Amino acid sequence: MVHVVDHPLVRHKLGILRRDDVSTKNFREVANEIARLLTYEATKDLELESLSVQGWAGPVDVEEIKGKKITVVPILRAGIGMLDGVLDMVPGVKVSVVGIFRNEETLEPVRYYVKLAGNIEERLALILDPMLATGGTLSTTIDLLKEAGCTNIRGLFLVAAPEGIERIEREHPDVHIYTAAVDERLNENGYILPGLGDAGDKIFGTK
């Protein structure tokens, strides 16, 4: 299921990221600002539990998030560009890092780095990648999380292409997608139009 986080703040910030003259500093900051707002939406249904604490005027009933079992899964390298924003909202979570590249001859995704948090089967996984393009990397990441026993998976993206969304809905209909925008289409090189360009290059300043 796709959740488009359609809010004036998100639209404004995305407009900054789309500018060709955006600086590396500004892109990094705004990508993380949008990541915070996506996290807010993607954690809307977390379970709470009640407890009594000592307040300024005596005991008071409050709520806290039950279990706190979340892992954030940035996909290397561009996913790192959303990590700080997400951690601002859920500071205590474990970070599971995934690196995947596509073998240019076989076109098969190759997992070159995987370091998952412990007890992954008990956790909600929040996958981070600025761009959901063809969906190939995302599908492989979801496969490896499921192989490790994770059953509760959501993905956070700055921009998604209809082609990638369709693929994930077909291959992983249980996974929820949170994105700031669904753009028009992919070009012949797999870039999203109008998109943001190469999000990794923009975040790391490697254009």
In the bound state with ligand URA, the residue whose beta carbon lies nearer, of 155 and 200, is: 200
How far apart CA 82 and CA 128 sit, in angstroms, is: 7
Nearest approach in angstroms of CB 206 to ligand URA is 11
How far apart CA 1 and CA 115 sit, in angstroms, is: 27
Residue 154 φ/ψ, nearest 5 degrees: -130, 155
Residue 30 φ/ψ, nearest 5 degrees: -70, -35
Q: Residue 32 in contact with residue 14, Cβ under 8 Å?
A: no
Nearest approach in angstroms of CB 86 to ligand URA is 18
Q: Is 132 annotated as a binding residue?
A: yes
| Chain residues that interact with ligand URA, rule: CB under 6 A | 78, 131, 133, 190-192, 195, 198-200
How far apart CA 169 and CA 160 sit, in angstroms, is: 13
Which one of 24, 36, 102, 143 is the catalytic residue? 102
In the bound state with ligand URA, the residue whose beta carbon lies nearer, of 122 and 201, is: 201
In the bound state with ligand URA, the residue whose beta carbon lies nearer, of 75 and 116, is: 75
Per the annotation, the verdict on 106 as an active-site residue is yes
Active site residues: 102, 106, 198, 201
